[in-house]
Amino acid sequence: MTAATGRPAVPSGGSGRGVDATASTGGSSLGAPSDERARALAAALVAALRSGDEARFARGFTAGPMAALGARLWRNWRAMPVADIVAAGPELEVRWASPGEAVPAGERLAVLVASDGAIGALRGKGVTPLWLGDEVTFTPGVRGGTLASTRVPRDVVAGWSSAADRAARHVSARLDAPGWDGALSLVLPADAAAMARATGRPLEEAAGTAATTVASSSGPPRIVVNVTSVRPDARAGLLAHEGVHVATRSAGSPAPLWAVEGLAESVGTELDRAQSARNAELVRRRVSRGVPAALPTPEELAAPGVDGETAYALAEVAVEALIARDGRAATLAWIAEPTRRPEPRDPLGAYRAALG
């Protein structure tokens, strides 16, 4: 999985230390499995999970720290809606799907095995799946679901799950997104350190991100949420913002970032009056120093704190200016397929005119 887009935030606290995301046998000689061995490992793990054979599952891991990790993976994968585990060359891909998802999302693991073929080390590819580094629970939603660290309080998990259902309905109503099944799946780490591992971002950057949409190695993206940084009444709006990224598969989109984030912000703030009012105030403050000469840049959108928030608010203005001038359908079609649709006429002019 690789990180894609993220909404900035000012963290409100949160602490705690997560479980180590990797483990190994220690002094034993380890090596990458052959493709054949990787396929055999995947088949054995899946068979043990489906039959409820914990002893067979445990035999797939070496003794010591890996045995403890294997026990945790047994608990986690039994709690999750794991659809399959497959070999991808010498790697393993764990695929899981929330209710309503047409296809499962895949998360890759680099694997090393001991001389007897048992797993001696596991490591996430680029990011560390939450279920590899922590004990987890899974809460199904109407369409989608919430994978959360057991260190996140149950009432907090329930609140996010409910907000996800509301956000999914809102995004479905506001976007025509072919190929999206209408489901949103959340990942809730317990603290900033776990957020950093689950997104592959530096700790300081992860702590300052409210949520980010993370692309899977296969299948639909996941929304990873910083539960310590978001007020309860902002949850649905934030998830609607990220839900636009999920629905449009905007990770790696050739559309300008101001258009991608501006659309997401426009849809998200419809569910968050406080954020909508804050965005309007941020725009007013910026315009009081003069109307910007250019559309928000990727660097401005990535800026921490108020500067990043202001760039998001300005991107929202830019997209809404195009919608007001060219129509919602035409604007959304261009953002979804910028290489196949003509670029809007003078988006900078429309943006500056909207700012006054």
All structural domains of the chain, each given as residue ranges with its CATH number in brackets, are 21-125 (3.10.450), 253-356 (no CATH)
Average of pLDDT values for 214-236? 92
Give the pair of three-digit tokens for residue 344: 């809007």
Q: How confident is the model at residue 229 (pLDDT cuts 50, 70, 90)?
A: confident
230-282 pLDDT per residue, tens: 999 999 999 999 999 999 888 778 999 999 999 999 999 999 999 999 999 99
Angle formed at CA 257 by CA 238 and CA 211, multiple of 5 degrees: 25
Determine what percent of the chain is predicted with pLDDT higher than 70: 92
pLDDT at 52 over 50: yes
pLDDT at 311 over 80: yes
154-163 pLDDT per residue, tens: 999 999 999 9
- For residue 1, what pLDDT is reported? 40
Three-state SS at 72: helix
User: Who's near 15: CB < 8 A, 6+ residues apart?
Assistant: 191
- For residue 126, what pLDDT is reported? 82
192-202 pLDDT per residue, tens: 999 999 999 99
Rg (CA), the chain: 22
- For residue 5, what pLDDT is reported? 56
| Least-confidence region, from 27-41, 134-148, 152-166, 227-241 | 27-41
pLDDT at 16 over 60: no
* 117: alpha, beta or left? (left if phi > 0; alpha if psi -120 to 50): left
CA atoms within 13 A on the CB side of 5: 30
